[in-house]
Amino acid sequence: MFQNDKSYAENLDLQDELSPYKDEFYLMEGAIYMDGNSLGLLSKRAEQTLTDVIHSWKTLGIDGWMNGNHPWFYMGEKLGEMSADLVGAKPEEVIVTASTTTNLHQLVATFYKPKGKQTKILADELNFPSDIYALQSQIRLKGLDPNEHLIQVKSRNGRFIEEDDIIEAMTEDIALIVLPTVLYRSGQLLDIERLTAEAHKRGILIGFDGCHSVGAIPHHFTKWGVDFAYWCNYKYLNSGPGGIGGLYVNEKHFDQLPGLTGWWGSHKQKQFDMEHQFVPANGAGAFQIGTTHILSAAPLIGSLEMFQEVGMEKIRMKSLKMTKYLMELVEYELGDYSFTIGNPLENHRRGGHVSLEHEEAARICKALKDEGVVPDFRAPNVIRLAPVSLYTSYVDVWEAVQILKRIMDGKWYEKYENKREVIA
């Protein structure tokens, strides 16, 4: 039963089997880090695998492609195999490569084939802007008008997108559907299995942006029949700023020639034949375009080792418990300060972060940072707080709310401008 005192949080930490992993990370001195849904912290293992790869470059030169602790030539495939369990896929269905938006361009270039009545892409109005920019671009490349051929499902309340509304929008003119697994502001987790089944009933391909879920929530993409997915690795998977991305392609599409072909998508045994006839790799590896970003990919090796040890079910269980605890503390301690919990309350609909809405959100975020809590602001009025299973403790959550309460009690936020910084 919930209690609001620190000893309750301390007891939760004593019972937490993941608590030893906190020592694996470099924590910010004097700060409580609650922004792992934007950029995960550096782990000692990630630092070590990056150091190993740099050492290979230093001592082996070009021979690092095939030798050393982590040969570079197969790094994308190795990381894809290590990532497969996170998304419920077969190893050959996942590849680690490029960036989120580049991978989205690749997948839409492959699977968006407007013909006859089916010419439109279905998305939603709350998605992260980069996805929408990419979809608009791909529509223009087909000689079509995004204003007419990109359909965005409306939100009923500015926070959530209802699955019923998405399904209703799956009309006969839709050629492709691209949706987030978790909405980046509100943290709403969509029913991926249901939406995939409904799309396929209508003969529509469907893909998902997993940036705000992979590493926080177990998925079963292959079991559910998802056609494709893509994600970043620098949030919950702690690969480092601008870290390399990941993509999934269901094995039923392995006969598809990638829409954007490049030499790193070649069959590994043929790649250095230097022929002008593209021979695609077997599996998702064919969807690579350019050479793996080796120094960007290297930290992910160490990070994924921990996910393999722990497993996504335990990570999700702790995440749900911490976000519920955070919401209970907010309701108990901050009930008089006009905060609205803007994320779903139900476990099956909630992602990995808590979304607090307040008209002074930008100012409050600045005050939190100055008082040692690192939050995340999203316009117009959202404070995102993400307790991360591998390095956030229950005491961290308790102390963060106590600091927020002191800020509100003393109106310390009033000395700041209610305007976001360049980086929110």
- Binding site for pyridoxal 5'-phosphate, residues? 100-101, 128-131, 209, 212, 234, 263, 291
Q: Is 128 part of the annotated catalytic residue set?
A: yes
Pairwise CA distance, residues 321 & 144, whole Å: 47
Q: Output the CA torsion sign for 356, 183, 130, 220.
A: positive
Counting every residue written for the chain, the total comes to 424
Beta pairing partners, 95: 247
Q: For residue 354, give both structure tokens.
A: 């808590």
128, 254, 337, 416: the catalytic one is: 128
Using DSSP's 3-state secondary structure scheme, residue 43 falls into strand
Pairwise CA distance, residues 229 & 289, whole Å: 16
Would you say 56 and 211 are in contact if contact means Cβ atoms under 8 Å apart? no
Q: How far is CA 324 from CA 86, 271, 350, in A?
A: 23, 50, 10
Using DSSP's 3-state secondary structure scheme, residue 165 falls into helix
- Nearest Cα neighbor of 263 from 224, 237, 295, 292 is 292
Indicate the angle between helix axes 394-410 and 6-15, nearest 10 degrees.
160
Binding-site members are 100-101, 128-131, 209, 212, 234, 263, 291
Q: Output the CA torsion sign for 418, 419, 420, 421.
A: negative
List all residues 6 or more positions away from 92 whose beta carbon is below 8 Å from its beta carbon: 80, 251, 282, 283, 284, 285
Pairwise CA distance, residues 134 & 111, whole Å: 14
Q: Is 339 part of the annotated catalytic residue set?
A: no
Pairwise CA distance, residues 351 & 398, whole Å: 20
Pairwise CA distance, residues 397 & 401, whole Å: 6
Q: Is 234 part of the annotated catalytic residue set?
A: yes
33, 228, 234, 287: the catalytic one is: 234
Neighbours of 4 (CB within 10 A): 14
Pairwise CA distance, residues 55 & 282, whole Å: 31
35, 384, 394, 396: the catalytic one is: 384
159, 235, 350, 363: the catalytic one is: 235
Pairwise CA distance, residues 383 & 332, whole Å: 18
Beta pairing partners, 179: 208
Please list the active-site residues: 128, 209, 234-235, 384
